[in-house]
Amino acid sequence: MENVSLVSLYSGSKGNCTYIRVGSDEILIDAGRSMRALTSALTSVGGDISRIKAIFITHEHSDHISALEMLSKKFRIPIHMTEDSAKKVLATTSYVKSNLICHSPLFEEKIGDITVRSFPTPHDSDMSVGYTIGLPSGEKIGYATDIGHITREIRENLLGSSAVVIESNHDLQMLHDGPYPAWLKVRIGSPRGHLSNADCSAFLPELVASGTRDILLAHLSGENNTPAEALKAAMSLNLGIHIDVAREGEPTRLI
């Protein structure tokens, strides 16, 4: 992929933000943590908040939106999200409204030369979506985190992507043995919760067969997973492609 950058600025239950640059078009997916954390992580990888043309939000959980209020106070960056997620966001902050662009769960938005398309994902929020980013070359990048399981829509949208960011949230044994209360373990492991390492890696051969060459495992649980465990599960398949793990507290460059 020529002239494309994709960097996870940080990832996991403490906050998520991914920076994508295609030529001179620069966008963010999600804006968790503080504005200060977001802008300094972005600067550290050569980005600049003033060049960001749009922010695309997957869903309204705080680890995906907590920088939005301050960002909206200081910058006029269009923020795209579904109507149902927006209702929840607007219940707690008024500033975001001025930059907000609401959509149905299936929407398409052109940002310069790239085309961002959403698709619904199974998660325990009011609404949740993943994205594909269509490039001028005809290639695409796929993005899906906070997904309880791999649905038909996720397959249809992610297959054929050159690069994919996909959730690999927890190791099943670590979740089972871990400190979380029983109700939370059930929630995380449910079909509308988070994707396990096992379910993630079971999907990877399909991605590779469809042409995917770069995969970033993302939204790892800090309690119920480690980068080594997530990578071990994905690498055990010997897929012969580039696989990396998005770190919780530091930028991870996929492309």
Chain residues in the site for Zn ion (CB under 5 A): 61, 63, 146
3 state DSSP class of 171: coil
Pair of tokens at residue 72: 């909206």
Q: Please state, as a whole number, how many other Cβ atoms lie within 10 Å of the Cβ of residue 253.
A: 13
Q: Closer to Zn ion at the Cβ: 25 or 146?
A: 146
Q: How far is the CB of 76 from Zn ion (least distance, A)?
A: 26
Q: With respect to Zn ion, which residue has the nearer C-beta, 21 or 61?
A: 61
Nearer to Zn ion, 186 or 235 (CB): 186
Closest CA to 6 of 119, 92, 114: 114
- Of 100 and 188, CB closest to Zn ion: 188
Q: What 3-state DSSP class applies to 77?
A: coil
* Secondary structure in 3-state letters for 179-207: CCCHHHHHHHHCCCCCCEHHHHHHHHHHH
Retrieve residue 128's tokens: 């949740």
Nearer to Zn ion, 28 or 114 (CB): 28
Residue 144 CA to its chain's centroid (Å)? 5
Residue 29 CB, nearest approach to Zn ion (Å): 12
> Minimum distance from CB of 125 to Zn ion (Å)?
5
Which tokens belong to 131? 């994205």
Which DSSP symbol is given to 100?
A: E
Nearer to Zn ion, 66 or 132 (CB): 66
Nearest to Zn ion of 11, 201 (CB atom) = 11
Contact by Cβ (8 Å): 116, 131: yes
Q: How many helices (H) and strands (E) does the chain have?
A: 9, 14
Q: What residue is closest to Zn ion based on CB?
A: 61
Instruction: Please give the biggest Cα pair distance in the chain.
Output: 49
The minimum distance between CB 22 and Zn ion, in angstroms, equals: 24
Q: Tell the smallest beta-carbon distance from residue 194 to Zn ion (Å).
A: 8
Shortest distance, position 139 Cβ to Zn ion, whole Å:
27
Supply the minimum distance, in Å, between the C-beta of residue 128 and Zn ion.
7
Torsion of CA 109, 152, 252, 107, to 10 degrees: 10
Pick from 219, 209, 249, 60: which is nearest to 148 by CA?
219
